[in-house]
């Protein structure tokens, strides 16, 4: 009878916060050793470093900074960081590449649709002053119909300027043109011929887009080139009747410049799902939250992709990337 001379290595995976069950179940079905951080909050840095030790795979969230310190703590056997997010600005890609560690993200059609829907929810709520009207009615201020009560603006016939015409930007475009009869203009690093053909979109410079659009919707990743993409100069180009919507990444908008634009009524309002200094709002650690004081500003707490369907899809994509890499295959969604 043959005797085992060495124990088969069972890959160890650490997940920094509990998410939809399907992805975890897929990893457990492979027999991997899975540990999930028990508390529903951002994992403390010290705990992350401790839990990363000896792992073959890490599955972090966008709130977790994954850098040399984490890679050192994990050890040389770490093969993949499967980021549970469409973006990956929380991961040091250069440090990972230097060590031969694969980094992946979790784009999916479900995420694209969820973010596009939330973008339109913000646009509609801004245009028709929905949160303001809700507060008005609940405060028992409604005394009867009036032709001037809480009048808003139409979406139909208005011009939507999309900044970043990738998958999510294209999903927003589909809703704008097909659902609301909006005119479509866009700005990106390169032309999107398919977008132009499908939706009669017009490609133009960022400056011209800002000068033309009634609604400006941001759909770019956070890169050095997109940090503070919208700042004082850009707000000065926008129409005073225009609205800004950001469901991309917080630092794409200079929040101090946004506050100045709101104070001076340089723009008509803003719908903000992501914040420059998350979780702080308007980078104000003293919690005075000036952004909260404007009726023409709608704030949501980074929930654009927060649908059951999108979260399940993200978990499965992360799990499938881990399985592929641990089995010596190419990942589905390598971050570049």
Q: How far apart are CA 302 and CA 296, in angstroms?
A: 18
Q: How far apart are CA 184 and CA 100, in angstroms?
A: 42
Q: With residue 184 as reference, give the H or E element that holds it.
A: strand 183-187
CA atoms within 13 A on the CB side of 269: 22
Q: How far apart are CA 29 and CA 47, in angstroms?
A: 26
- How many residues can be counted in the chain? 336
How many CB atoms within 10 Å of residue 109? 12
Q: How far apart are CA 163 and CA 208, in angstroms?
A: 12
Dihedral pair phi/psi, residue 23, rounded to 5°: -65, -45
Query: Cβ distance 156 to 175 under 8 Å?
Result: no
* Largest pairwise CA distance in the chain: 91
Q: How far apart are CA 289 and CA 281, in angstroms?
A: 6
Active site amino acids: 249, 278, 302
Cis status, amide bond into 60, omega within 30 of 0: no
CA angle in degrees (0–180, nearest 5) for 111-115-117: 115
């Amino acid at each position: 009878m043959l005797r085992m001379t060495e124990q088969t290595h069972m890959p160890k995976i650490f997940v920094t916060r509990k998410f939809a069950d399907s992805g975890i179940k897929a990893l457990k079905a492979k027999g991997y050793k899975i540990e999930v951080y028990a508390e529903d909050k951002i994992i403390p840095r010290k705990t992350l470093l401790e839990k990363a030790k000896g792992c073959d795979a890490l599955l972090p969230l966008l709130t977790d900074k994954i850098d040399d310190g984490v890679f050192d703590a994990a050890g040389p056997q770490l093969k993949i960081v499967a980021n549970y997010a469409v973006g990956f600005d929380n991961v040091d890609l250069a440090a990972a590449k230097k060590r031969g560690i694969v980094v992946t993200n979790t784009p999916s059609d479900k995420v694209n649709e969820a973010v596009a829907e939330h973008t339109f929810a913000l646009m509609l709520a801004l245009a028709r002053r929905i949160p303001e009207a809700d507060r008005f009615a609940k405060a028992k201020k409604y005394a009867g119909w009036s032709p001037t009560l809480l009048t808003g603006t139409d979406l139909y016939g208005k011009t939507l300027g999309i900044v970043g015409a990738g998958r999510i930007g294209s999903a927003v475009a589909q809703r704008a043109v097909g659902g609301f009869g909006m005119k479509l203009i866009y700005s990106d690093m390169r032309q999107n011929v398919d977008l132009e053909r499908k939706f009669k979109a017009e490609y133009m410079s960022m400056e011209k887009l800002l000068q033309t659009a009634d609604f400006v919707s941001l759909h770019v990743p956070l890169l050095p080139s997109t940090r503070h993409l919208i700042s004082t100069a850009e707000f000065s180009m926008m129409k005073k009747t225009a609205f800004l919507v950001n469901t991309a990444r917080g630092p794409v908008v200079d929040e101090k410049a946004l506050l100045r634009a709101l104070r001076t009524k340089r723009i008509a309002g803003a719908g903000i799902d992501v914040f420059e200094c998350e979780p702080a709002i308007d980078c104000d650690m003293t919690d005075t939250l000036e952004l909260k004081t404007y009726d023409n500003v709608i704030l949501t707490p980074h929930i654009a992709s927060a649908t059951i369907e999108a979260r399940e899809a993200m978990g499965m994509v992360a799990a499938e990337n881990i399985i592929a890499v641990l089995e010596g295959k190419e990942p589905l969604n390598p971050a570049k």
